[in-house]
Amino acid sequence: MLRYVVHRLLLMIPTLIAISIIIFVIIQLPPGNYLESYIAELQAQGESVDPQKIAFLRKEYGLDKPLVEQYLYWAWGMLRGDFGYSFEFNLPVTKVVGDRMMLTMLVSGATILFTWAVAFPIGIYSATHQYSWGDYGLSFIGFLGIAVPNFMLALVMMYLANVYFGTSIGGLMGPEFIGKPWSWAKFVSVLEHIWIPVLVIGTHSTAGMIRRLRANLLDELQKQYVVTARAKGLPPRKVLFKYPLRMALNFFISDIGSILPHIISGAEITAVVLSLPTAGPMLLGALKSQDMYLAGSFLMFLALMIVVGVLISDLALVALDPRIRLQGGVAR
């Protein structure tokens, strides 16, 4: 077990390095950089630009060095928890994004729980009642969940929630709680608001998970041990709960790997529509204004979230599933 954990952790390192290189290339791709457009903006406004100040800024951000050196500087900074400097906000990136990362994780975590809670019973029902009307109906709703773009769903849900429940539009909490320290009232307000994004982000991954769970469970239900158990005269409910369901539980954990990227992708665009104080809107803004360190840190953080999430799910699977544990193989 320990060997496997260490092995997986070591394997993460080259992956993360490759990811950081790709992100760095992307954030360097646009012609010019924020500093140049900043200078241009100042000149356009008729303000004089102090060449000394520019030179100082250039040096401060390492913009005068070759690319490789810039990358190493950036990567080394990240290792020390220094994610660079946001030109737009004139603040270190960590100061700008800290709270948003937290909320992103909160929303993603809540969405995973929601996905599980909904997909589990529906998937089991669909598999045990294959080709029944319930199965068809639920499958169709699932397909709809895949087909409806979640930004549209977010818009409509936001409108409905406002009309019928009087929830304030947008955001993760009531306007009176923004910037306030955490309290019980704030927590309740967050709970009141979080269900919309969770529902919207969750539909897509829930639908996908139901389909995969159904297929998996159907395969499992046809296996010989189930036939044996039935032939022995075990009541159907017990047959289902004792064996195939346990297999399905493992699948739940291993499936995180495939739903997590979707959830995080969906969370971004939903957050833009709902103007949630998470990573999404700020990432979009940073990309549009080419505040590249900020954008790069967001991308790096989101990728890290996925890598770590998949790692945790793999490790949990090893701990849970004796077949994988004994063979020492990799889960996926």
Partner 1 sequence: MSPPSAAAAADKLSHFVSEAPFDPQSAVRLTPEQERFYLASQWKLMWWKFKLHRVAVVSAIILLLMYGSTLVTEILVPYNLHTRHTDFIYASPQRVHLFHEGRLSAPFVYELRKSLNMETLRREYTEDTTQPHPLRFFCSGDPYKFWGMVEMSFHLVCPGEGATLFLLGTDRLGRDVLSRIFYGARISLTIGLLGIAISFALGLVIGGMAGYFGGWVDLVVQRVIEVIRSFPELPLWMALSAVLPVTWSPILVYFGITGILAMLEWTGLARAVRSKLLALREEDYCTAARLMGARPKRIIARHLLPGFMSHLIASATLSIPGMILGETALSFLGIGLRPPITSWGVLLNEAQNINVVALYPWLMLPVVPVIVIILAFNFFGDGLRDAADPYR
Q: Using CB under 8 A as the criterion, which residues of the chain lie in contact with partner 1 when the complex forms?
A: 14-15, 18-19, 22-23, 26-27, 29-31, 143-144, 146-149, 151-152, 155-156, 158-159, 162, 169, 261-262, 264-266, 268-269, 272-273, 283-284, 287-288, 290, 295, 298-299, 302-303, 306-307, 310
C-beta of 159 vs 225, nearer to partner 1:
159
Integer-rounded Cα Rg, in Å, for the chain is 24
Residues contacting residue 173 through CB under 8 Å, at least 6 positions apart? 186, 189, 190, 193
Rounded to 10 degrees, the C-alpha dihedral 319/324/326/330 comes to: -100
C-beta of 172 vs 295, nearer to partner 1:
295
Q: How far is the CB of 26 from partner 1 (least distance, A)?
A: 5
Question: Cα(90)–Cα(222) distance, rounded to whole angstroms?
Answer: 61
In residues, how long is the chain? 332
Q: How far is the CB of 93 from partner 1 (least distance, A)?
A: 15
C-beta of 152 vs 188, nearer to partner 1:
152
Q: How far is the CB of 280 from partner 1 (least distance, A)?
A: 8
Name the residue among 308, 290, 295 with its Cα closest to residue 109. 308
C-beta of 119 vs 239, nearer to partner 1:
119
Q: How far is the CB of 151 from partner 1 (least distance, A)?
A: 6
Q: Say if residues 201 and 110 touch (Cβ distance below 8 Å).
A: no
Q: How far is the CB of 262 from partner 1 (least distance, A)?
A: 8
Name the residue among 276, 109, 265, 270 with its Cα closest to residue 190. 276
C-beta of 88 vs 186, nearer to partner 1:
88
Residues contacting residue 301 through CB under 8 Å, at least 6 positions apart? 97, 101, 279
C-beta of 112 vs 295, nearer to partner 1:
295
Q: How far is the CB of 256 from partner 1 (least distance, A)?
A: 13
C-beta of 124 vs 272, nearer to partner 1:
272
Burial of 51 (0-12, 13-18, 19+ CB in 10 A): exposed
User: Which two structure tokens, joined as six digits, stand for 253?
Assistant: 């954990």
Q: How far is the CB of 71 from partner 1 (least distance, A)?
A: 16
User: Which two structure tokens, joined as six digits, stand for 88?
Assistant: 């737009």
Q: Say if residues 285 and 273 touch (Cβ distance below 8 Å).
A: no
